[in-house]
Each structure stands twice: as structure tokens, then as C-alpha cells.
Structure 1
Amino acid sequence: MSSATGIPSEIDAWFAGRGWSPRSHQREMLAAADAGLHAMLVADTGAGKTLAGFLPTLAAFCPSRLDGAAPPDGLHTLYVSPLKALAHDVQRNLLTPVEEMGLPLRIETRSGDTPSDRKARQRARPPHVLLTTPESLSLLLSYPEAATLFAGLQRVVIDEVHAFATGKRGDLLALALSRLQAIAPAMQRAALSATVADPEEFRGWLAPWGDVDSVALVQGEQGAQPHVGLLLPTEERIPWSGHAATWAIPQLYEQIAAHRTTLIFTNTRFLAEYIFQWLWDANELTLPIGIHHGSLSKEARRKVEGAMARGELRALVCTASLDLGVDWGDIDLVVQMGAPKGSSRLLQRIGRANHRLDQPSKALLVPGNRFEFIEAIAAQEAVELGVRDGEDFRPGGLDVLAQHVMGCACAGPFREAELLDEVRSSLPYAWVDEEIFARVLDFVATGGYALRSYERFKRIVKDKDGTWRLAHPEHAARHRLNAGIIVDNEMLEVRFRNGRSLGKVEEMFGAGLKTGDTFRFAGIDLEVESIKDLELIVRAARKSASIPSYSGLRLPITGTLAQRVREMIADRAGWARFPDDVREWLEVQDYRSHLPVPGRLLVESFPHRGLEYTTYYTFEGWNANQSLGMLLTRRMEERGLGPLGFVATDYTLAVWGVKPVEDPVALLSPDILTHEFVDWVQQSHLLRRAFREVAVISGLVERQQPGKRKSGKQVTFSTDLIYDVLRKYEPDHLLIQAAWADARQRMTDVGRVGDVLDRAAREIDHVQLDRISPLSVPVISMVGRENLPSGAADDDLLLEAESLASLAMRVEPLEDVGGD
């Protein structure tokens, strides 16, 4: 029987036995399921979101609800998470209540790390609850037994939905949900998140056919306000430039020693290794400190995760690999090294401490430079005010749709109209019409007009009765080997001679190594013994300062947080809360030039070391500023201004050349996004890079063949060759269209570039100075160092920045200080 709250007595008793009672949002999630509704839960970290998502599943297996009937058989619930580590963590935490209540539930995980024999057994005899990722779910749906496997599916729980719903992994999952709904029409969907900025948008994404009325919105109880502090230099000034914040290592080590367990977040894998090295060098007490990031081997990650779960580590340096939902109760301090880049991301990371709704999480922000200090303050206040940010939804990628179509064909024959109807029931693909879908099918069937004469691109065929099926059974195995959404640069396995794997480094880094070279990876100093195929064979070395760097798009500051930074800089009355050196920095900027204020674009021009510099204070993120720099230098070249280079940060773009920029308004006219943008993208590496990714995702180019994996050079050679053919003979090819969408939306942040141009068209402050300004010191100090990994050049950056600052902070005219 159920209690008065509708919760089965077994679950009520379990809560009572722990001195708890079900929270209101947990009861509402169960009530929504009982009413036959899908549900979107937004609740603070530590509020028991995962348990809330699983309560309907637990209830279905309670004897009081079964009323003498046999427990449900077969796969009952799917749990989908963005991270493998999160799925394993949830399995650990879910097993406890299941065992203590004595429920007849089998729970297993499935990911890329799961052994093949277990995967086969899961398809034949599935557990009641399967914890997986979007990619693994998509692969499961590609097997002929998928219809039988998922026929009785009752529930899908999507955890940390904000982390991937707006990207290509979200596209893949949305298509998988549509397929599951077609197989099991009664299936209920539930999504969980602590940091959704607009729950209504996510309700639309979650709902079949966008029917938001079928999705209950459940708001969680308010949690304790987190305690977020800033770590500042005790004697020195806040650095002008740099990102690694290594100035804070002595103080950070003191914090580690004073707390039970400290989780230290960095924004890149390079910085994780770099900060770990600095901490280890400072580890006089030999405290157990670990490292965790996505390029470490599965064994290394599991070892660290297990040590954290057992409370054996005092600190763990990590990346976004541990951003989401991992519940280690002994963590009592979270540290963010460098800029947080967004309030939602920061809140997510803060929530790893204490992980209880009624206890405040404790966090420290460690800014690397003065702009990052203001960004940290802005993020801190956004968290206090409950302001969230996030990425916008955009149309689903055609490359992902092509992969899904191929997966459906692997599962069995399908009819075009039926599959289109299924695809359109997902929000990302509601825009796809019959003509576009026919183009997708033609691409999967032939490769497109320019490639249809090549037999290897013929993967599906259409029978006389209109049914589509695989052209040959071997295409199914090849699809499953290569399917996926995450397309990293090609990696080299790092192994000891005995076969033990440490993880992977990018092929570009490994290609520069030779026998005898040393580098530090996974916290170990290593020497290269040999390079064989796609493996680096290494042995322990004495000492190395070299650390592998990883390419890829940088994490830009969100628009919401950037706006708060602008507002704080413009708010002179609020400067009183800043340290003296930051306040002085802004005061001298205000005296000598202007301040960048919301709604206006500040542009400064000044001579420096025999060249003419112009700085644009856009606050639109590194990707957008990098794109704007490429466009401006092209336009400057056309107008005879002799551009020589540019450098970008999240906040500023600096361009230098032979002649001064006297009219930035003309350079920033909106038509730059028509002619110049198209020409630049087509002639640059960006469109080729985007094409490489969509060609791999769509299945046109295979990274892996049975028993053999292609090198990055081989994949790039293949995609470049096909790209050149299509550009010449079929420029409107489906994948060229998909590559353009990626180049616009993700690689160039063209939308944010457009925002800069809009501001320039409305209100622009162009200030002509006799020398470098205080606000331009951080970006100008990076000139000549911008291609080095973040953190590697910090010492040089600091020296250069201090030299520039002595000139920039003088308030007297240049002629009174003896020149530049």
C-alpha cells in the first residue's frame, strides 16, 4: 500500500529509517509519473534530483504496488548521463536504497568502456535499469533486437540535461528518444538539472512533438546559499596577465591542508596537468593529491574515482570531466582555478562540495589576472542572485541525422515517411521537411551526386516496395565501429613497455617527439622509448617541464556573464569593493581613456614600439574575437593599412599594423559578415576542419576499420580530398551545408560577432591615445605568446605585463616622460 503522500510504504519507511522525509519535488516527480506525464525537474545540487528521477522506477518494484504480481520483466528504465563517471557514480548511490529496501532490481552500466561480452549479454538479457550515455544508447538502437529490447521500456531519466541538450549530443539523444517513443509509446521521459536558465525551452526539447503540456515542470526546494570566496595575493598585486594563477599555489596548498578533501577545477587538460605539477612540487607534507581528465586512461580515471569515493585523497585536480553530479560526500571545498566563464558552470562545480541541500557548499575562486578577477566577482554575484546562463538551442545537425538514419537501417528496414514522422517529433528536427529528408537519405545511400559512382559510399538501398534497407550486412559492423558525436583530434596511446596505458595525447603533440624526449603526463615524468603506429612507448624519467597541450575550441565567457562584467566596470560606485590595485587600474583607465560600458563599443588606438595598435573591447568571448580579428585584418589589408597581426582574449581584441586606424566604424560595417566572412571561411582552415568533423559524424569517412584505426593524417587526407571534390562539383552538398552551419554557430561565434557590429553601428567610443592604456595591458602583453599553451608562458607574460603597466599607468602626457 502507499502512504498518504502517494509514496509506497517501503520507500516511506526507508526515508524514515534515515531520519528523512521525501522532499516536495520528489513527491511531485512520482505524482507526475502516476498521472502519465513526462517531467522536467529543476532543483539545486544536493536536493536528491537523481533519487527523484528514479522514484517512479523504485515504486514500480515495491511489493505494496505490485500487490502480489510478479516484478516487471525486461528493461524498465534507461538513465542517460553526459559522463561515464556520472553513470558509475549513480550506480553506486542507487544500489544502496535498492538493497536496503530489498527491491528485486538489477542495475548495470553501459558505455564505451563496457566489455563487449557484457554488452552482448545486456542485449540478450537486459537489466531492469541500464545507466548509459547518448552514444551508447544510439548504438543499442542500431541492433536488430532493439525493438524487442525496448518494447517494454517505461521510463527514460536524463540527468544534467543542460550539459548536452543544446549541442550535437543532444541532437543524437533527441533522435534516440523519438525512436524509443515509437517502439514504446507509453514511455515516460524525465529530465533533471540544477542549472537550467530557461526551463520552458528545455520542456519543449523534452516533449514529443513539442507538446509542452505533456511535460510537468517541477521546481525543487531552495537549497542553502553557497559560500563563494575569492583567493587574493597576500602581499603581491593581482597579476596583469596570465591564466594559470600559479601565484596562488602556496595559499591553495594551505587550503588543501586545512580541509578534508578539495576538488580543484581547471578549464583545460593542459592546466590540470600544469597545476597538478605545481601542487606536487609544493607538497611538503606529501598529501595524497590526484589528477583526473578525459585523456587519462579508463584505468587511471577509475582508480582516482575509487580513491575519492573511499575518502583516500586530500585533493583532486580535474577538468569538466567531473563537472556533473558526481557525489563524493567528503568534499568540503571546491576551487576554480582561473575564470569560471559562466554562472551556471560555476554553480555546477560549486555543488560538488558537501552535496547536501541543507548545507552550504564552500568554494574559492582563484583569478589569474585582473579581468578574471572582475569576472570572478561577477560570477560570484550571479550565483548569489540565482542568475543562470546557458547556450541557445539551434536546429539539429544534418550530419547527426545522417548517422541516425544509418543506425535505423542497421536495426532493420524502414519506410521513409514513417521515419521522417518519427524524426520530426523531436524539437531539433521539427524543421526537416520531405525535401531535406530525401537529401539526407540520398546522401546515406550514395554519398551525394558527386560521389555516387563510388561503391564504398553506397550504404543503403531502396527496394521496389519503397522500403529502405542496408546495401550489405557488413555496413552495420562498420557503422557501430565509427558512430559517435565527439570528434577529437587524433590521439596517440601513451603506454609503458609492459602494456599499461596512461591515456592519450594528441597526435600533433606526439609527432614532435623523438626517442629520448621527456614530458609530464598523468602526473608522471616520462621519457619516450619509441613511437610505434599510434602508440608512444614510454618509461619513467627523472624530471620534465614539458606538458602535452590539447587543441580545440576554447570555452568562451557566456553573454550573460560578460554583460555583468561590463556593468561592474562601468559602476564606479561599486569599485570600493575591489582591491586597491584593481581599483587604481580602472581609475587610471577612466582618467586616460574611457571605460567600456554596456551598449557601447570602446575602441582605442595608440602607437607602441613603432607600430600602430587598435584595441576593441567587445567582451564577446575568445572565439568571436578571434573571428573578428581575421575579418578586420583582411579588410585593413584591402584598405592599405598594412595589418601585421592580432591577438584575442575573452574581453579584448588587439590588432596592429603599419598605419593607424582612424575610422573603426568603416571597418566594422555589418556587410563584413557577407562578403568578407564567406571569403575568409572558405579560404581558411575552418570550413575544412568543420567538414572533417561532419564527414566523420555522418559516416562518410571512417576512423576505424576492423582491427585497424586510421591516423589523424589519414582521416584528414581523406576528408580534404572529398571536400575539394564537393566544393568543385557539388558546392550545395549536404555536408558542405552542415559544415557551414558548424562554422557559423560553433567555430566562429558569428552571432556574437554580429552583436559587436550592431553596437558599433549604434554607439562607438573611439579614443586616440599617445600610448598604451591600462585596460589594454593584458592583451598587448600576449603579443608573440598567443600560440603557447595557457599557463606555459605565464612567467614571461607577467614580466612583459609589468613592463607595459609602468608605461600605461603613468597619468602625465607622454612628452613629459621621455617617450615610448
Structure 2
Amino acid sequence: MEVLAAREDTLLIAPTGGGKTLAGFLPSLVDLAEGHDGLHTLYVSPLKALSKDIARNLRAPVDEIGLDLRIEDRTGDTPASQRRRQRVDPPQILLTTPESLALMLSYPEAPKIFAGVRRVVLDEIHALAESKRGDQLMLGVARLRSLSPGLTVTGLSATVEAPEALAAFMGGARVIMADPGPPPDIAMLPTERPAPWAGGGGRHAARDVMAAIEASRLSLVFLNTRAQAELFFQALWEVNDAALPIGLHHGSLSREARHKVEEAMAEGNLRAVVCTGSLDLGLDWGDVDLVLQVGAPKNVKRLVQRIGRANHRYDEPSRARIVPANRFEVVECAAALEAVRESDLDGGGRRWRGPLDVLCQHILLTACAGPFEADALYAEVLRAGPYARLPRADFDDCLEFCATGGYALRAYDRWQRLLQREGKWQLRDPRATRDLRMNIGTITETEKLKVRRKSRRGGTPLGEVEEGFAASLSPGDTFLIGGQVVRYEGLREMVVEVTDAATREPKIAVFSGLKMATSLELSQRVQRLIATPEHWDQLPPDTRDWLALQREISTLPAPGTLTCETFLRGGRAFFCLYGFAGRNAHQTLALLLTHRMEQAGLGPLGFVATDYALLIWSIDPVEDPAPLLSAEGLREGLRDWLESNAVMKRAFRSIATIAGLIQRNLPGQRKSGKQATFSSDILYDTLRRYDPDHLLLRITREEASRGLVDFDRIEEMLAQGREIVHIRAPHVTPLAAPLLLEHGQVGIRGGTGEARLMEEEAQAMMREAGLA
């Protein structure tokens, strides 16, 4: 009722199943009962599937009330004919995504389409706020406010760690907190076999998961990556003795395959769906009564969101079970369960200022809609929460880049895109609108190629694989996609053609998916749990024994300290550092440390990094880690290392694509990943040489040091006053052993004996560490 009565923007925080989506729409239904021509309510969600689900669930109350309303979606899956009609004759309620909204706002008809909009509903706003998609969305909302003054915005979320920060992200909103409902029924799933020492697939527990599925009506089985989902789906079928109907759903599958699974869920024709983040948010398909998370959740908010998919009703607790994929993940899962019970969400609500590459894209798309005044657009941008404190100088730099490409590129016609005429900025060539619209978006995943069954008439679409994976295939190779083993036949017009394969031993497609790293808050919980033996009673006996032996042989990494171990093995010296700062930070630190070790003549040979630790092996041992870990020295070396490193070039390519300097999609053609990389590398080297202070280089340096390589986490980890504990261990230690196994997996590939070799290596390693 508070949302219905509110006349200002609101942020409604309510538990899954608490009716927040209907509450968000209720004011619209009340208004529409009195009649309204044209578009009245715009609903924006992170997922195309979520829009489809909401459309289906909203139709029931609308029909019960007896309203004659058109409710339509507008996403990348919407037929082109329907999208064209919506520009001329929009429905009263339109369900869309940030990218589709940005596209619609770029048309000259936008003022007419959106002039009558009265309400905007932003579902799962917390998920959007964590990425550049959220920044793009809030710029779009600011544009909507100009086109339809007085509209009301409602944000909806079930998992918010800092409500006031999220309200500020919306540009200012009143926070409404609903009753949280009953606590979830959540625990680790007991398994016959203990979690392995390393790896992330969870296949050891396939039979236990299958038993849980058999005992439930409908289960969602979440995995963290698309490749893991494919593998676990196959593992479940191998133990599915009752032949229960099980589906597979992830973002690399074809639209037809995803919709088929969604419809089967809604109709109650499945007993389980193996899925990834593609079913994370707000979906209410079928009678789901159990959620299984295979692999550590990496993030407490994500776990809470996934738990909420079970018993999607306000008055019943959600039931979920977690399956750790390896020994370290047992500890992480226990820490995550503790955080859920304490309602302690990670994230901290910290927000960086709105990224300038997204603002550049917004400026160019605004020009697609028609001429604009710089002062008016700047004032409009300031109404977007992420850009509320944007300096005018930064806005002008973005406008200059959009107009000329910057100092070093202004001589090239292709980057001369805007001109000023009679006080207004406009596109220099109106024909550029098509190219700009084709490259809308802030998601810059690894280039993917479509996979189809080979046929004279085009064949059945199966999904997508990474371009790099496709390039590694030879005719006759087999791989797994959509739960099917297929045989690679060839590449035709940038489409991977396949036939059905009889073999059951495939190569595995390398899906890009979501690169998950454990949140800093959850990592710190893991460290506290490891360092507190009196809390080990929540861990399985074998994990307790593992940690007890670590304490006996070495020491337990404790908060406030930086624990390092050195030991010799196989003629190599090993240096292990337990930083608990996340995979990205550890990988960056390992790269910087190996560089310093090289300068010191220690002969580093390689490293491995996880969310909890890093391990470096070298010819000569590290005698004193303190000089290597000098934060000041590492900071000095960071810029030189970044400037010439492939990490920086990769970051630049993503930023240049979002900002519109590089266009991947062009009419009638699409650049391959190699072509785009070649173009961006040339641009990067040119700008470094002739225009080192170019806007895109400034953005790249800031984002690379802050996010891509997590140098802020490194500085926090190496903060002054933190005690460095150095243990010279007699041999490999229990905590270091899984890291060595991670390294060992790289060298053992292919063949039917892979699993046996891995098991033998694991047993030998554990005997050496005193664990077997």
C-alpha cells in the first residue's frame, strides 16, 4: 500500500515471494483502469527471460480485473516486425531490458513514444547496479524524465546490503522495507564421497544431487559457469536411473532451446533444471521446492537470490542445499551459510562514479535521436544517480571524443561523428545511426560463434561457443553443447557446423559466461573461520582434520596477518601467500611478484592463483618475503607493467567498444574477434605514443587498476602494520596442497586415464602433506 500511495520515487525491498513485482505494477493497474492511450508503464529487468515470465504472470490479475490492456515485451528475442510496430503503436505496458531501452530512446520517435509514460519499474535493481548495464539504465531513466516530466520510478529488490546507497543510485528514492518473512531452510547437502582436494565441477556429488531431485517436486540446480553446467548435466544423466525429465538452461544455448525449457518448467513437465545465472533473478516458473547450489556461491547476495527461487511464496521458507566442489569450498560454503543466517550481505554498497565510456555511448545515441544542446544534456545526465557529481570538464571531454575522436584521431574522417550547428550538436552523417544502434550495449563478452546442425537449409541452432575454442577444433573433434555431444564438421560463414556424435567422451566447449570471484567480505569470513578452531564444529570431520594438520605442520592464516609459506618439492622452491583477497587480486599480485623475483634472480617459473591464495614456484627460494611485498614498490611497478601488458589492452578493447571507437557489428558483416583485437591493439599503441592522456586511456588506467586487476585489494592486503608471518615448512602443507593440484591439472589433459591420473596425483600429494 505504501508503494500505491507514494507520489515520489521508491525503492521497495521485499523477500522473494513477497509480491513486490505485483506491488510495483499495482499503481499502474489502478491508473490504467481509468483509461490511457499509448505507453503508460515501462518495466525494465536484467534478463530477457524475466520479462517473458513477468508478462505471463501479470496477465492473470489483469484478466481477473477485466482490463483491456496490451502487455508486450521488447528484447533481443522480440521479432523485428513487432519491434517496428511498437515504435508506431506501443502497448500500455512494455517489458524490456537496459539495452533495448537505450535503442528505443535513440529513435527520433522517442519523444512521441515515451511522452505519456507515467511509471517506470526497475526490477532486480541491485543486480543492474553492480555493472555498467545499471549506469546505462540510469542514463536512460534520466532521458525518460526529460521526455515525460513527472513520471514515477519504482525500484524492486530482494537482496540489498546498503539500501540508501542503492536509492542514491536511482537518483534519490524513498526506501520501503517489507517484512523479511521466515528464514530459509538452508544447509550443506550430505554426500557419500568427500569433496575432492581441487577442481570445481562437483561431479563427485552427482548421485547425491540426483537423490535430492528424486525426493522433490521441481529442483533448480545452479552452477557458476556454463561449461560446468554442461558437464554436471551430463553427470546427472549418467546416474538418472529413473529417467526423470531434466532440462538445461544457460546463456550460450539457442533462444529456441531456452524457451523450450522455460515452457516445460511452467507446465510442470520437468523435475529439475541445471542452470547458471540465466535463471538467477525473479523467475517464477513451475512449483520449485528445492534449490541446489553446486560449487561455492562466491557471493552471499547471489546465494540469497538463488535460494529465493524455491517455495516462491512469502509465508514458506525457501529450501536450499549447497554442494562444495572442493575442500576449500567446504569452508567457503560454511562461511556463506553463516552469513545467510545472520542476514549479512556482501558488497558494502560502495559505488564508483559513473563510467565515462558508457556516457560516451549515451551521447552518441542521443545524437541519433536528434540534435541536442550540450548544457541541456549535461543537466539531464546529472539527474542520473551514478553521474550526479560528474564534473563539467569530464562531460566536455566525452563530448569532444564523440565529436572528433580526440587529439590523435581528429584527422581521420571515420571518428569525426558530431558537429555543432546553430548551438546544437548533431550527427555529422545521419547514416551513422544504423552503425551506432547495431553496437549498443555495455556487455563485451568474448566473441562467440553460432553452432548449428549441418543441413542444406541452415540446420537447427544449438547455441554458441567462444571463437577461440572454435579455432582450436579440427574436423572430427567432438564437444558438448546443450547436453549433447556433437561432431565438428567445419566453419561456414562464421557458423560452426556440427553433426550428432556417437561418442560420449567430448572436448568441452569453453563458454565465457560469468567469471566469478569470491567477494571480499565472504573471503574474510572464510579466513576467520579457518583461524577459529572453536567454530570448526560446523565443518565435516575430514575438513576439520585437514585444518588441524595445517595448524600442526605450519600455521593457520589469521585476520590481520599476511601468512606466507615456503617449502621445497621436486627440485623446485615454492612460495605460498594466503591473502584472501580474491582471484583477480591474487593473479595481479602474482604477476607483479614474479617480475620482482625475476629482478632478484630467483628464477620464477610459474604461478597459480585462487580466491584465497597464490602459489609461485621458482628455481631459488624466497628467503625473506617482506621486501617482495613492499606495497610502495609494487605500486611503482604497476603502471609500467600495466601499460605494456595484455591485461591493459584487453581492458582498452572493452572500453573502446562501449565508447563507440571500435564497432564490432556492421551492416552485412561482423568483425571476428581477431580482427577487433588487431584493430584495438593498433589504436592502443597509437594513442599511447601520440596522445597518452587520451580520454579512453585515462578510463582504461582507472578501470584496470581498480577493477580488472583489483589493485585496491592488493594495497589493502599489504597495508602498513599488517604482520607478515613466514613459515619455512618441511614439505608441502595441507592448505598449499590443493594449490599444487590446481597447477597439476594444467599438465594432465585428455585421454581416458585423465581421472585416474588426477586421483593418483591427489593421493600422492596428500600423503606428502600428511593427509593420507
Match of 2:479 in 1: 519
1:528 is aligned, of 488, 503, 506, to 488
Aligned-pair CA distance for 1:325: 0.5
Q: How does 1:116-515 map to 2 (within 5 A)?
A: 116-207=80-171, 212=172, 215-234=173-192, 236-390=193-347, 392-463=350-421, 465-496=422-453, 497=455, 498-499=457-458, 500-515=460-475
Match of 1:23 in 2: none
- On the 8 A contact 2:73/2:95 being kept in 1, the answer is yes
- On the 8 A contact 2:267/2:286 being kept in 1, the answer is no
RMSD: 1.8
Aligned-pair CA distance for 1:529: 2.1
2:52 is aligned, of 85, 88, 98, to 88
Cα distance in 1 for residues equivalent to 2:75 and 2:515: 26
2:297 is matched by which residue type in structure 1?
P
SS of residue paired to 2:742: coil
Match of 1:29 in 2: 3
Rate the CA distance shift 1:159–1:552 in 2: closer, same or farther, 3 A. closer
Cα distance in 2 for residues equivalent to 1:285 and 1:628: 49
Rate the CA distance shift 1:733–1:479 in 2: closer, same or farther, 3 A. same
1:563 is matched by which residue type in structure 2?
Q
- On the 8 A contact 2:731/2:769 being kept in 1, the answer is yes
1:330 is matched by which residue type in structure 2?
D
Cα distance in 1 for residues equivalent to 2:547 and 2:204: 22
SS of residue paired to 2:328: helix
Name structure 2 gaps, 5 residues minimum.
none
1:560 is matched by which residue type in structure 2?
E
Match of 1:814 in 2: none
Cα distance in 2 for residues equivalent to 1:796 and 1:188: 61
Aligned-pair CA distance for 1:576: 2.5
Cα distance in 2 for residues equivalent to 1:238 and 1:537: 38
Cα distance in 2 for residues equivalent to 1:185 and 1:600: 54
- On the 8 A contact 1:554/1:622 being kept in 2, the answer is no
Q: How does 1:366-765 map to 2 (within 5 A)?
A: 366-390=323-347, 392-463=350-421, 465-496=422-453, 497=455, 498-499=457-458, 500-543=460-503, 544-551=505-512, 554-758=515-719, 761-765=721-725
- On the 8 A contact 1:241/1:797 being kept in 2, the answer is no
SS of residue paired to 2:366: helix
SS of residue paired to 2:12: strand
- On the 8 A contact 1:611/1:658 being kept in 2, the answer is yes
Cα distance in 1 for residues equivalent to 2:198 and 2:758: 6
- On the 8 A contact 2:608/2:615 being kept in 1, the answer is yes
Cα distance in 2 for residues equivalent to 1:252 and 1:552: 23
Match of 2:25 in 1: 54
Cα distance in 2 for residues equivalent to 1:382 and 1:682: 39
SS of residue paired to 1:597: coil
TM-score of the superposition, structure 1-length normalised?
Answer: 0.91
Aligned-pair CA distance for 1:799: 3.5
- On the 8 A contact 1:30/1:52 being kept in 2, the answer is yes
- On the 8 A contact 1:61/1:104 being kept in 2, the answer is no
Aligned-pair CA distance for 1:533: 2.5
Point out the more displaced range, 667-676 or 142-151.
667-676
SS of residue paired to 1:228: strand
SS of residue paired to 2:574: strand
Cα distance in 2 for residues equivalent to 1:789 and 1:700: 40
SS of residue paired to 1:775: coil
Aligned-pair CA distance for 1:783: 1.5
SS of residue paired to 1:233: coil
1:714 is matched by which residue type in structure 2?
Q
Cα distance in 2 for residues equivalent to 1:550 and 1:529: 19
- On the 8 A contact 1:270/1:789 being kept in 2, the answer is no
Cα distance in 2 for residues equivalent to 1:233 and 1:152: 57
Cα distance in 2 for residues equivalent to 1:51 and 1:787: 53
TM-score of the superposition, structure 2-length normalised?
Answer: 0.97
1:558 is matched by which residue type in structure 2?
S
Cα distance in 2 for residues equivalent to 1:739 and 1:169: 18
- On the 8 A contact 2:13/2:156 being kept in 1, the answer is yes
Aligned-pair CA distance for 1:100: 0.8
Aligned-pair CA distance for 1:257: 1.5
- On the 8 A contact 2:12/2:20 being kept in 1, the answer is yes
Cα distance in 2 for residues equivalent to 1:801 and 1:393: 42
Point out the more displaced range, 254-263 or 623-632.
254-263
Cα distance in 2 for residues equivalent to 1:795 and 1:83: 41
Match of 1:20 in 2: none
- On the 8 A contact 1:143/1:411 being kept in 2, the answer is yes
SS of residue paired to 2:499: strand
SS of residue paired to 2:735: helix
Match of 1:816 in 2: none
1:174 is matched by which residue type in structure 2?
M
Task: Give CA-to-partner distance per residue, 1:184-220, whole Å, 9 cap, x none.
Answer: 120111111111100010111112xxxx4xx221101
Cα distance in 2 for residues equivalent to 1:517 and 1:74: 53
1:616 is matched by which residue type in structure 2?
L
Aligned-pair CA distance for 1:530: 2.1
Aligned-pair CA distance for 1:787: 8.7
Cα distance in 2 for residues equivalent to 1:650 and 1:556: 6
Cα distance in 1 for residues equivalent to 2:373 and 2:554: 66
